[in-house]
Structure 1
């Protein structure tokens, strides 16, 4: 079982690095044009839809299943307020890492859940790993763009993404060995992450993906959420 956890969480994580590589190629080898600009914003919107689906279909429902009303609300609001303060601090510093933060807030709790689920249902854990991997690809693509625009070099950004790829393995092992018997703590983590993700989506990610007189970007978000629906239905 341990080998399976490592392999599947590695698959879910390596798509972070792959998404960064694709974004690097797209940025540096595709000529600047209105079409490229539209594709970039549509992918941003698609990633936002996938993040929203993870929030609405996985993180919050799992928290609601386990927690009573007051602890759930407090965890959710704590996540939102903490990330509002962090976002304000980063704005003063001139950073654009909202998509990266949202990806990490989504990726880490889900990977922890992945490790915990392996102890209960390996087939469900396998599908969950595939779902997480599919989510990470467009999210990493968009995060790469944010980091480069914030002043990070392409090389440094890819190094960060390569390191993040291994977070999934660490988180899954933590979930399997430390949190499999602590469903309340796992639920608090998911609910806390949900509050932070929702704040980042509304404040930074969704507004940045919009283009005037272009409706494809909104469709991209809808398609991203559809991917989440399909994944949750299969799981």
Structure 2
């Protein structure tokens, strides 16, 4: 099996985890008594853990390996600030698309990195595919419930939309495979920018202890705290 076919299969499966998670949420809507409150919180926390593992195990180590300290730090911080501003804008517009934006914002950079990893022969491609599946399942679950509650779209239409979004996986994977495998600095910048944004989303939307209503600074503080650790790690290993 060629690497291109492998990239298409893995990136498509990673994307299909979103509508699969949404189907579980649809079942939950039809049978609300089957899932206890503790398990709902478990699903949310599970998604947050998968996102953090993607940051810590793949995106930050691989992204920072090909960049000097200052650009790496600025890109990571820039991702956190960008998602911070996006979160404020979504709150002001009272949009129901927050979860969907969050899914695409971490999914696309990750599948691009997945494609590039297979092109360069790195073993992180399979690991990244598994991590994307683990995070997209609970994200699809949460996104359907959020969008269905605050929009006029039916649950079936939302599931169909998520299925269409899954097709972006192979496009992103092939883009990384063909165009970014030979541009490690650009790829590293995308991975670090995405890492800062994902970390912000984890602490703002997922980690319950850090969540404050209509307050975004605690989550941005988490990005800054992780940034200090990143700079220290790079200083020690350079």
TM-score, structure 1 length as denominator?
Answer: 0.79
Q: Displacement of 1:115 after TM fit?
A: 0.9
**Does 2:65 align with 1:65?**
yes
**8 A Cα contact 1:41 1:209, kept in partner:** no
Partners of 2:41 and 2:155 lie apart in 1 by 19
**8 A Cα contact 1:98 1:204, kept in partner:** no
Query: Partner residue of 2:89?
Result: 89
**Does 2:182 align with 1:181?**
yes
After superposition, the C-alpha distances for 1:71-98 in whole angstroms (9 at most, x for unaligned) are 1111112111111111111111223544
Q: Displacement of 1:202 after TM fit?
A: 1.7
**8 A Cα contact 2:112 2:177, kept in partner:** yes
Partners of 2:25 and 2:11 lie apart in 1 by 22
**8 A Cα contact 1:45 1:209, kept in partner:** no
User: What's the C-alpha RMSD, in Å, of the aligned pairs?
Assistant: 2.3
Query: Partner residue of 1:143?
Result: 143
**8 A Cα contact 1:98 1:200, kept in partner:** no
Further displaced range: 66-75 or 119-128: 119-128
* Closer, same or farther: CA 156–9 of 1 in aligned 2, 3 Å: same
Partners of 2:167 and 2:59 lie apart in 1 by 21
Further displaced range: 199-208 or 7-16: 199-208
After superposition, the C-alpha distances for 1:80-124 in whole angstroms (9 at most, x for unaligned) are 111111111111122354443333232211211111122232765
- Relative contact order (C-alpha < 8 Å, sep 6+): which is higher? 1
Q: Displacement of 1:127 after TM fit?
A: 4.2
**8 A Cα contact 2:54 2:128, kept in partner:** no
Query: Partner residue of 1:153?
Result: 154
Partners of 2:210 and 2:69 lie apart in 1 by 33
TM-score, structure 2 length as denominator?
Answer: 0.79
In structure 2, runs of 5+ residues without a counterpart are: 212-238
* Closer, same or farther: CA 170–52 of 1 in aligned 2, 3 Å: same
User: When the two structures are aligned, how many residues end up with a matched partner?
Assistant: 208
Q: Displacement of 1:17 after TM fit?
A: 1.3
**8 A Cα contact 1:51 1:103, kept in partner:** no
Query: Partner residue of 2:7?
Result: 5
Query: Partner residue of 1:18?
Result: 20
**8 A Cα contact 2:58 2:124, kept in partner:** no
